[in-house]
Amino acid sequence: MKSQCVVCLKVLTAESFKKSQLKKHLNNLHPHLSSKPREYFVNLEMSVKKQRLNSNLRSTFDQRSASKASFEVAWLIARNKKPHTIGEQLVKPAALKMAEIMCGQKEAAKLNSVPLSAKVVKERISILAENVREQVISSIKESKCFAIQLDETTDVSSNSQLMVYVCYKGLHAIEEEIHRQALLVKRLEPALEAVMHDVINVVSVVKGHALNTRLFRELCRDGEAEYTDLHYHTEVRWLSRGNVLNRVWVLKTELEIFMVDQKHVLADNFTNFSWVAHLAYLADIFEYVNALNKELQGKNINIISAREKISAFGSKLLYWRQKTEQNKTATFSRLA
């Protein structure tokens, strides 16, 4: 702590504390106060300390508010699956501009203290994730009964990941955390698997290079297509195959034009009746599989209702097989 004059707040050196030096400081800089009693300076000292305390409290409050705002923004970024850099590159500049227009420069300056760098956002998200994990574990420990399901998946780096799903009794209802009852179709009949492989390769041709992506997007815009982009296929995402197939089906005309322009060997597939029929069937059947997957999600689903839905779907498959063997394909709109 450094000593200061309670009048001008000038920092005093150790030598200045000599009585002669203090008197000299008072007479030279504050002559109008030289006749004031000691009590006056004591009260002035208390006032300065109070102001300093209030200033520290205000600064602490501002820091806490800025930190809380940073966590809230990081939470929104994580929930919307946006890159960490969006906080500093878009969110903060947008907030500053809005505050400046709506509230003025002074209020906007306060927002500038909110830390939103990519590093900070990443740290905030990690802290939030750990907090959620701790809450889930605490709730499970308090619950008298719970169910655990283990599953293995693969991330984008082809590293195996062990996933743990849990369902437990909460205070008011059955809670589910990190849970997905995904009905996965791992193996296909060889002819269908070959078409699926071709579809993934077509998507890779378009999305694997930035130039191809831009050219295909412009082609779709010029033709006023319903969409302008394709979906990537990934085994990690449980609705991936259906989404990829549907988008390729919708844009098959644009894809044929693009692949012909690229003189790619897969271009001939789009004029091959059998290949297109298989693509249509895959898009249809995976649409039904995805619909079933969605029905199996949610807090109100239990093993009984899930089994009923899967059993009903199995009966539908048998019925659809009989119809297709009779060349009745009305159930599959794309194939029909």
Kindly list the distances between the CA atom of residue 103 and the CA atoms of 62, 106, 110, 204, 291, in Å, as whole numbers in the listed order: 18, 8, 11, 48, 48
- For 152-156, 195-199, 202-206, 249-253, which range has the lowest pLDDT when averaged over its residues? 152-156
Pairwise pLDDT comparison (97 vs 296), residue with the higher score: 97
Confidence of residue 237 (pLDDT cuts 50, 70, 90): very low
- Does position 297 have pLDDT exceeding 70, yes or no? yes
- Does position 9 have pLDDT exceeding 50, yes or no? yes
* pLDDT of 53: 66
3-state secondary structure 253-284: HHHHHHHHHCCCHHHHHHHCHHHHHHHHHHHH
* pLDDT of 94: 92
Average pLDDT, integer, range 70-85 = 88
**What tokens appear for 46 in the block?**
């208390």
- Does position 59 have pLDDT exceeding 70, yes or no? no
**What tokens appear for 296 in the block?**
């199996």
**b or e along 262-287 (b: 16 or more beta carbons within 10 Å of the residue's beta carbon)?**
eeeebbebbeeeebbebbbbbbbbbb
Distance, in Å, from the CA atom of 181 to the CA atom of 311, rounded to the nearest integer, reads 15
Distance, in Å, from the CA atom of 33 to the CA atom of 206, rounded to the nearest integer, reads 83
Q: What is the mean pLDDT of the chain?
A: 80
- Does position 173 have pLDDT exceeding 90, yes or no? no
- Whether residue 306 contacts residue 294, with contact meaning beta carbons closer than 8 Å, is answered with no
Return all residues near 109 (Cβ < 8 A) that are at least 6 apart.
Answer: none
* pLDDT of 189: 82
- For the entire predicted model, the pTM comes to 0.49
- Does position 257 have pLDDT exceeding 50, yes or no? yes
**What tokens appear for 90 in the block?**
């878009």
- Does position 157 have pLDDT exceeding 70, yes or no? no
Distance, in Å, from the CA atom of 66 to the CA atom of 315, rounded to the nearest integer, reads 57
Q: Which helix (H) or strand (E) covers residue 204, if one does? A: helix 190-207
* pLDDT of 56: 57
- Does position 275 have pLDDT exceeding 90, yes or no? yes
- Does position 182 have pLDDT exceeding 50, yes or no? no
Nearest to 292 by CA among 200, 181, 201: 181
* Tens digits of residue pLDDT in 13-55: 766 667 777 777 777 777 877 777 878 777 777 877 777 766 6
* pLDDT of 145: 81
Which amino acid is it at 95? Answer: A
